[in-house]
Structure formats: structure tokens, C-alpha cells
């Protein structure tokens, strides 16, 4: 059995100075410390029996890369009128660094202490003493505080570094003379060399049965004995096996037998006992149970499982019946009967809506409930839940936001594509404002709510925030809702919602199509964070070419680009009355697309077939205002939610 090596220094080297053990790689003579590194050379003052590194007294050496020293305190003392004494110590640490196990501490009344290192790091702390008098009319801390300057004032201030846990502040003792202590222990970090363990490979000074670990606080490395070994890891044979069985470092019970191995230990049980791996103890082996008892247990178990299966089937039938009744209740509550009657009634109707059942929803969505619909052109609703669900057609080419800014961004989006998309969006919004049976304000027009199919045809989607405007009103007063960057500033300030709010948002979308930039980007400089201000400023200063997308500029469509930019600026004017109506915007863009000038044919707007550019609006028209606040179903973009709920 190996014995634990007691010597932690090289042979024939001084092992102690006073009551401090000198451990390698430290030493007091040239052959006793780590060669070539004077950092590890210590001095033993034989007259004082004290160990020093430089002018700092060493009180402990740790293999983990720590050195405990005694460090003097700095202080200032006053009498009632003047400074009587002051000592401020400058500590030289040579090749050591301060450990994060120290605390910078100040003691005194109304004093501020600062510590500054040579690596431009400073820290400080403030110490105050409040008045203890609690009489009316005195400034005693409630609203104002004062410190009395009298014979019993605190005469000294102290500042010092100290190892955590080695100083406990006591007001009754420390504010007067700091208990006559002039030095406190401080922990320094040390390491070997300036290379990592990976760079060193097998060339480190770490001995057998040890690990070479990178220092966690500075460059270089430290050595550590492996688990199951102890000693000085810096010596060739410094780490020796620990006999856990002898020193009782094992967790075996008294009835088990402990067997020591190199770096580990084993335990076993005597004959007639089994090992309990949970408690590391031994328990007597169980005798075989009678066969008859096993038969009874098996029969009882089977009977119990049969009863449990019957009860479960009955519960499932009851639950299914309740769910069926509940779905019928929600269907009627959500107006399903009235909607079905309207869809099946005689007379013309432009509403093409399918009412889905639970089975139909599972089939249409491949049981993903709305994540990916199979029926490419079907629009409908599912009314058998407490909150009705809208079913939209599946659009497979992402959103306009994805094409301009996201993962699907590419250079194939030409100016012709962009202008056509703008015309389709404008025409759709014009239809909602002017031609729907009840005018509809989308209220959240943005590129993330514009879907694109395989032909890059625009589809206006996500009517969760939309509002129906009664025929006898031009605007509504609502709690503000929308998306930052697209939100009409006049609507934001007044809460008055009208069709010009959609016009403003469309203007921002048109600017995004022209520039390829986001409506709001906090990472950009202050002058270009908000696209509307940046775009309008460039237009005014005749430097529009600086903000237009480079792909668009290459296509030599300067007249069309400039005209579209003018329309975008007019749509985003601060006052709603100064903005054009959506129908006028659609006419101007359509004229621009077919090659007419600004003044040719702009007064007439032949409304296109917009149903193909709407996703879900038919249901909105059929059921009324179904707008909600909260999650954006197209893309989880930060939205301004001021409305508490409708």
C-alpha cells in the first residue's frame, strides 16, 4: 500500500519559514524554485521568521494558483479641525494579479475610498454615517441628513484590500481605531509560464497522476492531482494514491468490505448478502417467494387492469359526448347557424366561405391545425371552439418582408416586380376603403402582412387588427394599435382612425420596395433609423439616388422611380388631410405601370379584380368585426399594443 508523500518541496530545499510551508514551484534558493522564473523566488527573514515575495509577507501558498499575503492598510486621521495623519500605501504585485476573492473596503464616516491599478482599472466605495438623534425639527435623515462635527466624531478613515470573509465590520469597534489592526490577508493568483496546456502538450512541469489546467484568472497554467490522489502536483512523483479505506473517505457501510485501488476504491459484501447500490450497504438476500402467492398477485393484477380498461372506455365515451355537445354550443354561439343560412340562401352573394368541421380541419391542415393547409384555394372558418378560427389559403413563397429583408432575399425582385406588387397592394386597399359593402380599414399594413405566391402576386393578409367603418362615419376613435415604423403619427397622437392611416402605412411599404431597407432599424445611425424621415430628406435634398436599392437603379427606370418616390412621400405626409386617398394612389401607380404620365388618366381608376389579392377578408365581411389584439399570425414582429382589447 502506497504512503502519502509528505514533502511538497524539492529535496534538500527549505520547506518552512516560520509557520509557512514553502511548496514547489516556489523556493528560497536558485535550485529550489521553478528555473528561469524569478516570480517563484521567495525570501525568508530568519530573524523575523517571516516569508516574503518582494516586500510583501507571504502567509500561505496554494497549489491551485493562489498566494495569500499580508497587505497594509491606507488611512487618514483628523482631529476636529485639521488632518493629523495620513498614510496611503502603494502595493507592488510584480508578476502576480489580484484575485477576485478580495474585497476593496472603506471604513469611516462620510468618506470615499478609491483603488487604482496599473492596468487602468479603478474601483471605490462610499461610507456614510447617519445621525442617531430622532427629535422633531432636526435634520435626522428624513428628507435631509447631517453629520455632527463634535468631539465624538469619527477621527480616522481606512481603506484596504482584504480576502473575502477575513473582515467583518463592527461599527462599535472599527469606526474608532479599526481594532488596532494594520494589516489584512490578500489573495494573489499565480501560474506557470504564459502558454496554455494545449500549447504545452507533454512539456509541462506537472508530475505523474496530475492534470495540467489553464489558469482561469491569468495566462499560463496550474497543476492539480487527479481524483483519488493527493500531494504536490508540480513534483515528478508528488501525487500519490489516497487510501480511502484507511482514512475513511469512502461511503461504504460498516457491513461492506472496502478495497483500495490506485486512484479509486471498491467495496463488496460478505456471502449471503446483496449490495444495495443506493446506500452502498449490504442487505441479506431474500428467500424465494411461494408460487401460490405469485399466482394470486398475477390474478389480482389482471382483474384490476380489466376494470381499469372498462372505466377508461366509459370515460372516453362520456368525454367524446361532452366534446360533441360543446362544439355544437360554440358553433351556435359564434353565429354558425346564421352564417350557414346566409351562405345557403337564395340570391346573389360574393362571399365564398367554407364552414369547416373538426374532421375537415384535420384533413385540410394535415392535423397541424393551420400550419400548412392542403386545400390551396379554400377560405373558411372553424366555429366549433370558444374562439373562432379563420382558415386562409396556403401561400408558398413567404412574405414581402422575407423577399426584401429576410432569408428569401435575392436579386431577382426587379423594378417591374416591385411596381406590380405596389399596384396590387394599392388596388386591394382601395377596394377595402371604397368598394366593400362596409368600408374596411386594415390598420396593420406592412411588408410582413403581404404574402407572395409562386408568381410573386401580392396577397394582403392578417386582418386581425382590421376595423369596419359604419357607412355614416368617416373615422372611429379607438385605442391605438399598429406596428412601429408603419404607424400613422396622427392616429397615434389622436386615436382617430380613418382610411388615411392605411395610406400612411402603404407609403412606408412603397418606400421599402424602392429602397430595400427596413421601415425601422435601430442598428442604423440616428438620421437613418426611421425610413420615412430618411427617405423624405433624401427626396427634398435631391439625393434620392443614395437611398434607392442598387438593383433598381441599374434598370434605368429613373422617371418611374422618381414618380413612385413622389407618391410615397405624399402618402406619408404628417397630416392625414394632405395625403391622397388610396383610390387616387392606386390610379397613379397603375398609370405609371402602363406608361402614362402623372397627368394622363389619373382621374379615372378602373378597379381591378382584387379578390385574388385578399386573404381572409371575405370572412371578415361576412361575420363583422373579428379583429383581435396580440399575436401577429404572419410574422412575430414587434408591434405597438396600446389597445387593451376589443
- Give the pLDDT mean for 330-340: 85
Question: Using one digit for the tens of pLDDT, what is the confidence trace for 15-43?
Answer: 999 999 999 999 999 889 988 688 899 99
500549447: which residue's cell?
199
What pLDDT does residue 182 have? Answer: 85
What pLDDT does residue 628 have? Answer: 33
- Residue 538 and residue 519 share a domain: yes
Whole-angstrom Cα distance, residue 443 to residue 466?
5
What pLDDT does residue 625 have? Answer: 41
What residues make up the domain containing 362? 336-391
- Residue 404 and residue 266 share a domain: no
- Residue 30 and residue 108 share a domain: no
- Residue 358 and residue 226 share a domain: no
- Residue 228 and residue 109 share a domain: no
Do the domain assignments include residue 646?
A: no
- Residue 469 and residue 529 share a domain: yes
Answer yes or no: are the C-beta atoms of 240 and 231 closer than 8 Å. Answer: yes
Buried b (16+ CB within 10 A) or exposed e, 538-563: bbeeeebeebbbeebeeeebeebbeb
Whole-angstrom Cα distance, residue 284 to residue 270?
10
Question: Using one digit for the tens of pLDDT, what is the confidence trace for 376-417?
Answer: 556 778 888 888 887 777 777 889 999 998 877 766 789 999
Whole-angstrom Cα distance, residue 241 to residue 213?
20
For residue 65, which of 264, 279, 230, 220 has the smallest C-alpha distance? 220
Work out the number of other CB atoms within 10 angstroms of the CB of residue 612: 14
Do the domain assignments include residue 296?
A: no
372 pLDDT above the threshold of 50: no
Categorize the per-residue pLDDT at 612 as very low, low, confident or very high, splitting at 50, 70 and 90. low
What pLDDT does residue 254 have? Answer: 59
Whole-angstrom Cα distance, residue 129 to residue 175?
10
Q: Which set of grid coordinates corresponds to residue 594?
A: 402602363
- Residue 103 and residue 212 share a domain: no
Do the domain assignments include residue 493?
A: yes
Q: Which of these three, 374, 391, 408, is where a domain ends?
A: 391
624 pLDDT above the threshold of 60: no
What pLDDT does residue 599 have? Answer: 43
- Residue 571 and residue 436 share a domain: yes
Do the domain assignments include residue 518?
A: yes
Do the domain assignments include residue 584?
A: yes
Buried b (16+ CB within 10 A) or exposed e, 62-81: ebebbbbbebbbbbbbbeee
What pLDDT does residue 252 have? Answer: 60
425601422: which residue's cell?
520
Between 286 and 6, whose confidence is greater?
286
Question: Using one digit for the tens of pLDDT, what is the confidence trace for 112-168?
Answer: 778 887 666 677 777 777 655 434 443 333 334 333 335 445 667 788 888 988 888
Q: Any bridge partners for residue 224, and if so which? A: 211
Do the domain assignments include residue 119?
A: yes
DSSP string covering 393-436, please?
Answer: PP--S-BHHHHHTSTT--TT--HHHHHHHHHHHHHHHHHHHHTS
For residue 275, the domain's CATH number is 2.10.25
Whole-angstrom Cα distance, residue 132 to residue 543?
69
Number of domains, the chain: 5
For residue 564, the domain's CATH number is 1.10.510.10
Do the domain assignments include residue 356?
A: yes
For residue 96, which of 218, 270, 207 has the smallest C-alpha distance? 218
- Residue 376 and residue 407 share a domain: no
Q: Model-level pTM greater than 0.85?
A: no
- Residue 492 and residue 458 share a domain: yes
For residue 387, which of 318, 470, 330 has the smallest C-alpha distance? 330
Whole-angstrom Cα distance, residue 449 to residue 550?
25
What pLDDT does residue 255 have? Answer: 55
The catalytically annotated residue of 174, 444, 462, 502 is 444
If you average pLDDT over every residue of the chain, what do you get? 79
Buried b (16+ CB within 10 A) or exposed e, 335-347: bbeebeeeeeeee
Categorize the per-residue pLDDT at 423 as very low, low, confident or very high, splitting at 50, 70 and 90. very high
Residues 534-541: contacts with CB under 8 Å, at least 24 apart: 535/511, 535/565, 535/568, 535/569, 536/569, 536/572, 539/565, 539/566, 539/569
630 pLDDT above the threshold of 60: no
Do the domain assignments include residue 9?
A: no
- Residue 537 and residue 425 share a domain: yes
- Give the pLDDT mean for 441-458: 91
- Residue 214 and residue 274 share a domain: no
Between 344 and 367, whose confidence is greater?
344
Known catalytic membership, residue 444: yes
Least confident of 155-159, 289-293, 464-468: 289-293
**Degrees (nearest 5) of the Cα angle 144, 149, 155?**
120
DSSP letter (8 states) at residue 108: S
Amino acid at each position: 500500500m502506497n504512503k502519502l508523500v509528505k514533502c511538497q518541496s524539492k529535496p534538500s530545499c527549505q520547506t518552512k519559514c516560520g509557520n509557512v510551508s514553502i511548496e514547489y514551484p516556489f523556493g528560497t534558493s536558485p535550485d529550489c524554485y521553478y528555473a528561469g522564473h524569478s516570480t517563484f523566488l521567495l525570501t525568508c527573514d530568519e530573524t523575523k521568521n517571516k516569508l516574503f515575495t518582494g516586500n510583501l509577507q507571504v502567509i500561505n501558498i496554494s497549489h491551485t494558483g493562489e498566494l495569500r499575503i499580508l497587505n497594509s492598510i491606507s488611512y487618514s486621521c483628523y482631529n476636529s479641525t485639521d488632518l493629523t495623519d495620513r498614510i496611503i500605501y502603494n502595493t507592488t504585485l510584480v508578476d502576480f494579479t489580484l484575485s477576485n476573492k478580495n474585497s476593496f473596503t472603506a471604513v469611516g464616516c462620510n468618506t470615499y475610498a478609491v483603488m487604482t491599478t496599473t492596468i487602468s482599472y479603478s474601483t471605490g466605495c462610499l461610507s456614510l454615517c447617519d445621525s442617531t438623534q430622532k427629535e422633531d425639527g432636526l435634520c435626522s435623515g428624513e428628507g435631509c441628513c447631517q453629520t455632527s462635527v463634535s468631539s465624538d466624531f469619527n477621527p480616522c478613515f481606512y481603506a484596504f484590500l482584504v480576502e473575502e470573509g477575513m473582515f467583518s465590520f463592527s461599527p462599535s469597534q472599527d469606526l474608532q481605531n479599526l481594532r488596532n489592526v494594520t494589516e489584512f490577508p490578500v489573495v494573489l493568483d499565480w501560474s506557470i509560464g504564459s502558454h496554455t496546456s494545449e500549447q504545452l502538450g507533454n512539456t509541462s512541469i506537472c508530475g505523474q497522476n496530475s492534470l495540467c489546467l489553464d489558469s482561469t484568472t491569468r495566462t499560463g497554467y496550474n497543476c492539480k492531482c487527479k481524483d483519488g490522489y493527493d500531494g504536490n502536483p508540480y513534483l515528478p512523483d508528488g501525487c500519490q494514491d489516497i487510501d480511502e479505506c484507511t482514512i475513511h473517505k469512502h461511503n461504504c457501510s460498516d457491513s461492506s468490505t472496502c478495497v483500495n485501488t490506485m486512484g479509486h476504491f471498491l467495496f463488496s459484501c460478505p456471502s449471503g448478502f446483496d449490495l444495495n447500490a443506493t446506500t452502498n450497504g449490504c442487505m441479506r438476500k431474500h428467500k424465494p417467494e411461494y408460487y401460490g402467492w405469485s399466482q394470486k398477485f398475477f390474478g389480482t393484477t389482471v382483474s384490476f387492469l380489466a376494470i381499469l380498461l372498462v372505466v377508461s372506455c366509459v370515460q372516453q365515451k362520456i368525454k367524446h359526448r361532452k366534446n360533441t355537445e360543446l362544439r355544437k354550443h360554440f358553433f351556435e354561439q359564434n353565429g354558425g347557424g346564421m352564417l350557414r343560412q346566409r351562405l345557403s340562401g337564395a340570391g346573389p352573394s360574393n362571399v365564398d366561405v367554407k364552414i369547416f368541421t373538426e374532421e375537415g380541419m384535420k384533413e385540410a391542415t394535415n392535423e397541424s391545425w393551420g400550419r400548412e393547409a392542403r386545400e390551396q384555394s379554400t377560405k373558411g372558418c372553424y366555429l366549433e371552439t370558444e374562439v373562432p378560427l379563420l382558415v386562409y389559403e396556403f401561400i408558398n413563397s413567404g412574405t414581402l418582408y422575407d423577399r426584401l429583408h429576410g432569408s428569401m432575399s435575392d436579386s431577382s425582385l426587379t423594378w417591374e416586380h416591385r411596381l406590380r406588387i405596389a399596384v396590387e397592394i394599392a388596388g386591394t386597399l382601395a377596394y377595402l376603403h371604397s368598394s366593400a359593402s362596409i368600408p374596411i380599414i386594415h390598420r396593420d399594413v406592412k411588408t410582413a402582412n403581404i404574402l407572395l405566391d409562386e408568381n410573386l402576386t401580392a396577397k394582403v393578409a392578417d386582418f386581425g387588427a382590421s376595423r369596419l367603418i359604419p357607412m355614416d362615419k368617416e373615422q372611429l376613435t379607438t385605442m391605438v394599435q399598429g406596428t412601429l415604423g408603419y404607424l400613422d403619427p396622427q392616429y397615434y397622437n389622436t386615436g382617430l382612425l380613418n382610411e388615411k392611416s392605411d395610406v400612411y402605412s402603404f407609403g412606408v411599404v412603397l418606400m421599402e420596395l424602392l429602397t430595400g431597407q427596413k421601415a425601422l432599424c435601430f442598428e442604423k445611425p440616428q438620421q437613418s433609423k426611421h425610413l420615412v424621415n430618411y427617405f423624405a430628406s433624401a427626396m427634398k435634398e435631391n439625393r434620392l439616388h443614395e437611398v434607392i436599392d442598387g438593383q433598381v437603379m441599374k434598370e434605368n427606370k429613373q422617371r418611374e422611380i422618381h414618380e413612385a418616390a413622389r407618391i410615397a412621400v405624399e402618402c406619408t405626409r404628417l397630416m392625414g388631410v394632405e395625403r391622397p386617398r388610396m383610390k387616387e394612389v392606386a390610379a397613379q401607380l397603375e398609370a405609371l405601370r402602363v406608361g402614362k404620365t402623372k397627368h394622363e388618366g389619373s382621374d379615372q381608376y378602373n378597379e381591378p379584380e382584387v379578390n385574388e389579392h385578399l386573404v381572409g377578408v371575405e370572412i371578415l365581411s361576412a361575420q363583422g368585426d373579428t379583429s383581435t389584439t396580440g399575436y401577429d399570425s404572419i410574422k412575430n414582429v414587434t408591434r405597438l399594443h396600446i389597445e387593451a382589447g376589443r
